[in-house]
Chains A and B, each alone.
Chain A
Amino acid sequence: MKQALETFTYYFDIVLLVYTISICSSYLMLALVSARALISYKRENAHTDYREILASPLTPGVSLIAPAYNESLTIVENVKSLLSLQYPQLEIVVVNDGSKDDTLQKLIDNYELELIPYAYDARIAHKPIRGIYKSKHNIFDKLLVVDKTNGGKADALNSGLNVASGKYAACNDVDCVLSQDALLKMVKPFMESENRAIAVGGVIRIANSCVIEDGFLKAVQVPDNMLARFQVMEYSRAFLMGRMGWSKADGLLLISGAFGLFDKEIAVACGGYDHSTVGEDMELIVRMRRYMIERGEQYTVSFIPDPLCWTEAPSTNKVLGRQRNRWMRGTIETLLMHKRMFFNPKYRILGMLSYPYWFFFEWLAPLVEVFGIVYFLLLALLDLPNWPYFFALMGSVYAFAMMMSMAAILFDEMSYYQYTRWKDIRKLIVAAILEPFFHHPKVVWWGIRGNLDFVQGKKSWGEMTRTGFNTQKKS
């Protein structure tokens, strides 16, 4: 019996070791590819004059779709911020998704909206539109407000896609702060691509503790809240060291729902956002890519490292837990919806690398980790662990995590030099040292909860309470 157990543990240890080496190697590879892509992007765009886009008749039209649900407190300021974005042919489509508060009334009063007979192309199904509003004033000519029955974010975005008249549609959370030149920078990959660009994503940054004045970002600071600071580290690793690399390898599967720009024709042709998943942002990209591959069309999906969109990160465990739980369920749902891509050479990098990566290292990672802990506890009960090896392996994992976090700080520093104070670097280093002990276990737990909730068929988004930006008003 003991010999059988030892044989089992021997082979099982090998499996776990191979898994660990694979995950670490993939992170390293991605980081290396990302570094190359980042340097190349910086060099290519060092002398770009984005003002040229402003005056050109060749600039394509963009519709920015911003769904709003119970945003009464901030909607007027947020829309004001969107209206001031620099882009010549811009349409702002705010979709009031059946808010229970006075979001719509605030918009009507502040922008002097009136109901208009707007004919739209109802190619994607969504909950009924109750009315479309436009301002009486020419200064708000860009603004279109859609009032519809509540149907969730995906449903609101779909109605926005139907109403939008631009060639490209930018989907954006209305409570995010966009940099003034965000659209100019996002549209460039569409214009410079030799193949048809179908989607472009940008880096999402965390705005907690940053100074926001009248809807504009005025000063960038590392969050005071430790939980938000851990998320700064996570976002840097995910965007600068992950998605940048996937984009370079033509394997990007996710453009964040907070801000992305899409070829509207393709997004509509493949049915828009899926209502049945809470990971609608990832699912749409996967579906758009499949659509292009299955039609045999050349295309690109790009990612740009410029810090264009600033969002408030959850600052309590409860809210962050709900978010991560939803992200995990969204990942599982998307992977299952597109399971035929799994190691399918027809989908090239997507099928052979991206999908397996998401499957093994995004979906399964928390499960493997918890399974590993349980397995170890069982061995400990049987007094089987080799303690020196246990501590040495723990040390190696921690050292690897430290190395990746320090690399993320370096990427951040060398790319866009956002945190200009020495104090901010210090704060990030502290976060990097503490994260594996105090944050990572919680992330694993939320991932497990996401799996359990998925099995139980939970479909809700979970309430996302926000504390609000560090705002200042002009006197």
Chain B
Amino acid sequence: MNPVDNLAIFSTYLQHQYGDGMLFIFWLIFTFLFLAGIFLTLTILSRVAKLADERFEKQLAALYEPFLLKLLYESDDFIENPAIPIEISSRLRTRFQKQTLTDLIVRLNKGLDGELSLKLRTLYRVLKLEAYSISKLQAKVWHIQASGIDELREMRIVETVEAIQKLLNHPNWLVRSNAQLAVLELGNPDNRLRLFESITFPLTDWEQLRLHESLKSRNEDKISSFSSLFTSPNKSIVLFGIRMSSFFGCTRDIPELQDLSSNPDENLREEAIYGLMRLGDFQMQEILAEQFAIESKPVQTAIMHYLLQTGYDRLSFYTEALHDPTHAISLLAAKGLARFDEAHFPTAYESLGTNNPVIATLLAHAADRRLQRL
């Protein structure tokens, strides 16, 4: 008699002896234990699969690596006459095999340029791995789409930029973010910033960081201005533009940034002031010092940073700001006072700090060279 029959007989016995309730509990216990067994089996299978994958990856790497090294450093005519050994092309039947080689090629290509990179890209095409990555763009699952975009970007397949552009406003943030990077890197180098006209979702700080790193790594010298982003209806793109403008030293953007420093939006004003500070523009000193009194605390803090950085030297301004109830502002004001030469500063210190321990500490802090960071 098989176990299923035994189980059926036992459950009939339980029902007969103790009623339906007992039968229910029996099946509950059975289900829980069965699931526990399944989980345990899955744990073991997962471990075995992991170990097998690691072994298989090593085997494939042992096969691919010598071939790739030979291709990169010995095959001079590979680009014109790409010949692939049968042992390589025949091992690209499963998805795992394709993905392993794709990962290897993409990883190698990251640090390469010129002819070496061209050879790898030719190989990527000839082995139809490019088509494999392109097919991922049509996948229904977001993480496959995201990885396809990443591969095409890393392999610099510029022909795919239009297909990727369609994913710029994908509901999944990772697909969106990868698409932004890809379009930025693969798009027309003379008009890279056009990408931002299509983005409707707000750019998170993480996305901005990735875009900035991408621009930085490409030694982007063709963008001398980010002012085209300042008029975007998407506020996060304006903020990004202001940041990039100052990080890349786009002094051409200073007039627009000066205008933005009086924008009705608090965040834009604040960012524009920091942007002007980073660009070393000192023309706004008096205007911003005037504006200071009517500003919100974050913008006041930005103004204080700006004035300190650009060497604003009105003693009365700092003396007044020293009594601001916001600690960050009063400390910055104290730092402003500390910048005055020794002839002025002791006077300020004596008149301001003697009767007020809080002010005295602020001034001592500001004057201490070990704490000079802004």
* Complex contacts, A46 vs chain B, CB 8 Å: 143, 147
Contact: A119 with B362, CB < 8 Å?
Answer: yes
Residue in B18, B208, B361, B366 whose CB lies within 8 Å of A389: B18
**Leading 6 A-B pairs by shortest Cβ distance:** A121-B327, A399-B32, A117-B364, A192-B206, A406-B39, A119-B365
Contact: B213 with A55, CB < 8 Å?
Answer: yes
Q: With an 8 A cutoff between CB atoms, is B150 at the interface?
A: yes
* Complex contacts, B21 vs chain A, CB 8 Å: 389
Contact: B243 with A58, CB < 8 Å?
Answer: yes
Q: With an 8 A cutoff between CB atoms, is B52 at the interface?
A: no
Q: Which residue of B lies closest to A417 (CB)?
A: B50
Footprint of A on B, CB under 8 Å? Answer: 18, 21-22, 25-26, 28-29, 32-33, 35-37, 39-40, 42-44, 46-47, 50, 143, 146-147, 150, 173-174, 202, 204-210, 212-213, 243, 247, 327-328, 331, 334, 358, 361-362, 364-366, 368, 370-371
Extra inter-chain contacts (14) besides given A121-B328, A388-B18, CB under 8 Å = A58-B208, A58-B209, A119-B358, A119-B362, A120-B327, A190-B205, A191-B209, A192-B205, A192-B206, A392-B25, A396-B28, A410-B43, A417-B50, A425-B44
A395 to B22 alpha-carbon distance, docked (Å)? 12
Residue in B33, B150, B204 whose CB lies within 8 Å of A47: B150
Footprint of B on A, CB under 8 Å? Answer: 43-44, 46-47, 52-53, 55-60, 116-121, 123, 134, 188, 190-194, 388-389, 392-393, 395-396, 399-400, 402-403, 405-407, 409-410, 413-414, 417, 422, 425, 429
- 16 pairs, A vs B, C-beta closer than 8 Å: A43-B174, A47-B146, A56-B209, A58-B209, A117-B368, A192-B173, A193-B204, A388-B22, A392-B26, A392-B29, A393-B25, A399-B29, A399-B33, A402-B32, A406-B43, A410-B39
Known A-B contacts A410-B43, A425-B43; the reply to A134 vs B370 at CB < 8 A is: yes
* Complex contacts, A121 vs chain B, CB 8 Å: 327-328
* Complex contacts, B207 vs chain A, CB 8 Å: 192
Q: Which residue of B lies closest to A39 (CB)?
A: B143
Q: Which residue of A lies closest to B203 (CB)?
A: A194
* Complex contacts, A134 vs chain B, CB 8 Å: 370-371
Contact: A407 with B328, CB < 8 Å?
Answer: no
Main secondary structure of the interface of B (DSSP, over half): helix
A409 to B46 alpha-carbon distance, docked (Å)? 11
Contact: B46 with A414, CB < 8 Å?
Answer: yes
Minimum Cβ distance to chain B for residue A357 (Å): 21
A142 to B358 alpha-carbon distance, docked (Å)? 24
Minimum Cβ distance to chain B for residue A333 (Å): 31
Contact: A406 with B365, CB < 8 Å?
Answer: no
Minimum Cβ distance to chain B for residue A385 (Å): 14
Contact: A118 with B209, CB < 8 Å?
Answer: no
A120 to B247 alpha-carbon distance, docked (Å)? 30
Residue in B46, B50, B143, B362 whose CB lies within 8 Å of A44: B143
Contact: B43 with A118, CB < 8 Å?
Answer: no
A377 to B79 alpha-carbon distance, docked (Å)? 84
* Complex contacts, B328 vs chain A, CB 8 Å: 121
Minimum Cβ distance to chain A for residue B14 (Å): 9
* Complex contacts, B42 vs chain A, CB 8 Å: 410
A399 to B25 alpha-carbon distance, docked (Å)? 11
Q: Which residue of A lies closest to B151 (CB)?
A: A47
Minimum Cβ distance to chain A for residue B149 (Å): 11
Q: Which residue of A lies closest to B141 (CB)?
A: A43
Contact: B209 with A52, CB < 8 Å?
Answer: yes
Residue in B29, B146, B173, B371 whose CB lies within 8 Å of A395: B29
Known A-B contacts A43-B143, A59-B209, A406-B36; the reply to A116 vs B368 at CB < 8 A is: yes
Contact: A53 with B209, CB < 8 Å?
Answer: yes
Contact: A44 with B371, CB < 8 Å?
Answer: no
A231 to B147 alpha-carbon distance, docked (Å)? 37
Known A-B contacts A193-B204, A388-B22; the reply to A118 vs B371 at CB < 8 A is: yes
Contact: A191 with B205, CB < 8 Å?
Answer: yes
* Complex contacts, B46 vs chain A, CB 8 Å: 410, 413-414
Between B36, B146, B362, the greatest number of chain A beta carbons within 10 A of the residue's beta carbon is seen for B36
Residue in B33, B213, B247, B365 whose CB lies within 8 Å of A52: B213
A66 to B370 alpha-carbon distance, docked (Å)? 22
Contact: B147 with A47, CB < 8 Å?
Answer: yes
Contact: A403 with B36, CB < 8 Å?
Answer: yes
Between B40, B146, B327, the greatest number of chain A beta carbons within 10 A of the residue's beta carbon is seen for B40
Known A-B contacts A55-B213, A403-B35; the reply to A413 vs B43 at CB < 8 A is: yes
Contact: B47 with A413, CB < 8 Å?
Answer: yes
* Complex contacts, B205 vs chain A, CB 8 Å: 58, 60, 190-192
Contact: B212 with A58, CB < 8 Å?
Answer: yes
A207 to B368 alpha-carbon distance, docked (Å)? 42
Q: Which residue of A lies closest to B326 (CB)?
A: A121
A410 to B46 alpha-carbon distance, docked (Å)? 8
Known A-B contacts A392-B26, A396-B29, A403-B32; the reply to A119 vs B39 at CB < 8 A is: no
A468 to B144 alpha-carbon distance, docked (Å)? 45
Q: Which residue of A lies closest to B44 (CB)?
A: A425
* Complex contacts, B210 vs chain A, CB 8 Å: 52
Minimum Cβ distance to chain B for residue A161 (Å): 13
Q: Which residue of A lies closest to B22 (CB)?
A: A392
A53 to B208 alpha-carbon distance, docked (Å)? 11
Contact: A396 with B204, CB < 8 Å?
Answer: no
* Complex contacts, A191 vs chain B, CB 8 Å: 204-206, 209
Residue in A44, A188, A407 whose CB lies within 8 Å of B39: A407
* Complex contacts, A120 vs chain B, CB 8 Å: 327
* Complex contacts, B150 vs chain A, CB 8 Å: 47
Contact: A44 with B47, CB < 8 Å?
Answer: no
* Complex contacts, B364 vs chain A, CB 8 Å: 117, 119
A409 to B45 alpha-carbon distance, docked (Å)? 13
Contact: A400 with B204, CB < 8 Å?
Answer: no
Contact: A403 with B33, CB < 8 Å?
Answer: yes
A405 to B32 alpha-carbon distance, docked (Å)? 11
Known A-B contacts A58-B205, A117-B365, A191-B204; the reply to A429 vs B213 at CB < 8 A is: no
* Complex contacts, B26 vs chain A, CB 8 Å: 392
* Complex contacts, B37 vs chain A, CB 8 Å: 406
Known A-B contacts A44-B174, A389-B21, A396-B32; the reply to A406 vs B40 at CB < 8 A is: yes
A193 to B236 alpha-carbon distance, docked (Å)? 13
A327 to B305 alpha-carbon distance, docked (Å)? 44
Minimum Cβ distance to chain B for residue A31 (Å): 10
* Complex contacts, B371 vs chain A, CB 8 Å: 116, 118, 134
Contact: A402 with B33, CB < 8 Å?
Answer: yes
Known A-B contacts A121-B328, A410-B42, A413-B46; the reply to A194 vs B202 at CB < 8 A is: yes
Contact: A403 with B206, CB < 8 Å?
Answer: no
Q: Which residue of A lies closest to B142 (CB)?
A: A43
Between A47, A396, A425, the greatest number of chain B beta carbons within 10 A of the residue's beta carbon is seen for A396
* Complex contacts, A188 vs chain B, CB 8 Å: 206
A418 to B174 alpha-carbon distance, docked (Å)? 26
* Complex contacts, B50 vs chain A, CB 8 Å: 417
Residue in A52, A55, A119, A406 whose CB lies within 8 Å of B334: A119
Contact: B36 with A57, CB < 8 Å?
Answer: no
A192 to B207 alpha-carbon distance, docked (Å)? 7
Q: Which residue of B lies closest to A42 (CB)?
A: B143
Known A-B contacts A53-B209, A392-B26, A410-B42; the reply to A422 vs B36 at CB < 8 A is: no
* Complex contacts, A60 vs chain B, CB 8 Å: 205
